[in-house]
Structure 1
Amino acid sequence: MSTTMSLQTSVEDAPEERSSFFIGTADSDNVSEEEGHHHQLVLQKANALASENCLREAIYWFSVALRYGPVRPEQLSTFVECILRNFKTIAAGPEESAQIRDNSGNDVFDCPNCHNFLGEAVTVACGHTYCKRCLQRRLLSKCKLCREAVKGGEEKVSVVLCGLLDKWFPDELKKSKTLCEVDELCRRKRYQEAVSLATNVIQSGNDGAQNCNCIRDNSFVNKTEMHSLLLCLVATKGFKQQAAIAKTYRSVPVDLLDASDFECSLCMRLFFEPVTTPCGHTFCKNCLERCLDHTPQCPLCKESLKEYLACRKYMVTAVLDTLIKQYLSQEYAERAKAHLDETKELSDLSKNVPIFVCTMAYPTVPCPLHVFEPRYRLMIRRCMDTGTRQFGMCINDPQKGFADYGCMLIIRSVHFLPDGRSVVDTIGGKRFRVLSRGVKDGYRTADIEHLEDTKVEDSDELERLQELHDAVYEQARVWFQNLKIRFHNQILQHFGPMPEREADIQATPNGPACCWWLLAVLPIDPRYQLSVLSMTSLKERLVKIQHILTYLQSIPNN
């Protein structure tokens, strides 16, 4: 009770707001612009030292800051945390304090910054979770765990995580929310209300009040003449720190553990790689990506996620991932196995191969693609996630959906655009024949068999084949050189230069690369190109190309 009276009296007796709630010299109004800059730099250094628990050095630099100007009570939050950590160590004794230090980073329900209960938990872009108070007070510029930059304004609580904390630890969450209210009152300069609310928190438990009295008697607090608001901050934090001393590790009540609390609202299965959006909603990573393929909005609250989509940093929410693996290990193992089976099925390059129905593609020839349809966004992402980095390319067929023959494309790189579209750089791989057709999640699939050229074994026949190849190659070189400069440059830009003559024309299953380059650049109907693509005889392919070149060279001004 004496604590309550002393806190309230110090506020009521203050002659004016500035002298009561600012720590500084009497002439602090006359601070030059240059001194103000030094003041901010010194405060930043003092707070940095306090956050690293260097109390002695922090005291010195805060005293230096006072020479340049006033120090607002809200600027002392990190300093207060430092005082309390040191107080807790002294109060606990050597053996107990060592135990607290060891466990402080191990409790999944603790904020990595202040080491207190997460309370109103907010998950930042890197996937780590902090209490809302630390983020509101702008105490973080970088994540304490991964050193990733933490942007200001990320204060929307994690809906799933806060629901779990409310279910498992309702009393602690209630206290945490009350302390957030105290902070908000301080920001609005409603100091008497803040002190009153903080006093109520202290009175809710005797241990907290005793802790507050101990801190008020601390010689350092008296020495620097910290006024009522600072005592308010110490008191409220003292309550939380006392709870931390009493209970350094929390466990989930078994009777309140329910796997349905960890279900993704999109797939209705246990979270796998849970990702929390800036609006605070959580989904499986794959589920969220599929939704963003269609529209850059949160599937639940419809808040815009354009900036989130542009960054493409879908980091797993570490706290939820840990809880699932720790408390629902069997369910997680089943979910992981199902995911592995799905991935294995998608990795098969002979069955249910994804098919992009678009244009002709050829072995060894580059094929850049602009991917914008949601179904193909999903298809490309799966090719990357499974590690195959391959899919089939076929032209359209009005009756069958897509042609009977095609070419595998190998993804060399993917450049994502801010709105979710992508430019995919691919190059042709193996040819294939379609055995059966199917559909998966909107895109076409096929069971396929790969095609290879039939090798010529007879030496005389091989010699004649080599002569035919050399003749066609020379004819193609002359045709390409005689093209108008505009067409010549367009071909170079899109397909690159004509491939070099190969020493062994049967070295690869697809034959010489020059044949496919010519087939890609020659102005002929795709159906004719498809017939050449399906051939497994190099001789027949060379003859077809020779006929086309002869025809083109016979046209005046070709």
Structure 2
Amino acid sequence: MSAQEPNASDAPPSSASRDDVGDDNNVTAQSSPSSPDSTIRTDVLDPYIDPAAVVRLIQCPRCNLPLRNPLRLPCGNTHCRACLPPVWKRPRITYPLDEGREDGFTCYWCESEHALGDCGLDVLSAKVVELFRSVLEGDYAAGQYGGERQRVTVRWRQPGITGKEEDDVLEEAIVEGGRLRGIYMLMKEGRLKHDAVGVTYDPLGGEFDESEKAILEKIKDITRNELDCQVCYSLILDPLTTPCGHTFCRKCLARILDHSNLCPICRRKISMPPSVNSEPVNWMLSRLLDTLFEDQVSARREAAARDDVGVSDGRTVPLFVCTLSFPTMPTFLHVFEPRYRLMIRRALENGGRKFGMVAFNHSRLSQGELGRSQFMQYGTLLVIDRYELLPDGRSLVSAVGVSRFKVLEYALVDGYYVGVTERVDDVSLAEEERLESTETATAAVNMPIPEEDGTAEVPLESLSTQQLLQIGLDFVDKRRTDSAPWLHRRILTAYGDVPTDAARFPWWLASILPIPEEERYSLLSTTSVRERLKITARWVKKLETTTDW
């Protein structure tokens, strides 16, 4: 999986819709490396960094003040916790039962509904805001960064209600401490709004002095020390912030989620999909990195690209055609065929200990674009956990399922199949909740009329996700009482006791329940926990009414 740069279409809406314009005799607020005629002074500040843009990095777009307890939103935007929109109770949602997910609000930015439980204090952004404050509110009179408390006239336009340029309100202020500190103090006083445009600066009584560059360098120096990813220990690339508030590189977070759903810093559960390519970056930190550390970010991307050369992208995997395997569940293999001995050895040596497991296509059914292939199209990616080589060359392998895939193409290599695959992931938790709320509400309206004896079969669609899970849990408890052989202690030792996690339960039940393989195979292509629980509930209902599957 490769880190992906945010698309322009994914960027959050900008509060300044028009280009900033300044007088030829002043310093403009916007510039670009491709604008050689820029009027920004090159003798003190970095010629491509605008003081207003630097200060705006830590400004809340809602209250226009420095961010206080910055809240990370699922759409990647950030504002003060106190600026959170009105919160209401979300109806007909029972999965997942994580704290805060029953509360929701409509986002100011993307106008989507967010669960409060998906929003957490952005630890790194809060630290960055405090570091900015420590520098820009420092003791400049004592010459901490050299120079004097220079006075500057700042002029800007505040967009009017109509948004038309002729309705802009022209504003002006005289500030002390140079451009950076002056703009910061105007923002802190609530005078310079986040959507201000056309910011210009005019020094009073002389030229801009070198202390301004020292201030900027100090900000860059102390913030750079905090911007290393706690997984790879390099500058964060494509920063993603988890609901618990910790930030990692996109690629590093994907690697974490491949093996665990716990944050490596605080050990709290990360409620994010394992495939994070579609997750929006933390826009505040992304802008900070691109504004203050453009060269380092570029160098980091080039180094990451070089590291990826020759490394498998995870789409091409060797295929073991044998049995059904499921995510989070163990698979135990006795490997004796020469072709699979070779495949396992290669997986151990240079394949990251990974291979794909697919079931035989016993009925020779058409598998989509694969045609009547020897194996089923959907499978599970396994990671070898334990490997024991026997004296005669055979081996005993224990592997654990980490994700699902769909085979798009395949070929024979040294006797075994290799497939080009597409990863299969569940929908987001927000979509999962929407499906439950919509489906149960619709089913409640279309509830069947009871029979004459007062009974009516309750459709599975009308049940909450937790009720669907409970059907399976009750079935297992009943069969345990009946001493069902598939709940023998030896089997539970291998696969674990019955999980109460709705996401894990279907995989566990499918791994141990003695029902036809084609029934269990149907789970692999589903992308919703709720849909899988409905499948397992149908199994239960059938097993409770008949002994002949």
TM-score (norm 1): 0.36
Answer 1 or 2: which has greater helix percent.
1
Structure with the largest fraction of strand: 2
TM-score between the two structures when normalised by the length of structure 2:
0.36
Which one has a bigger Cα radius of gyration?
Answer: 1
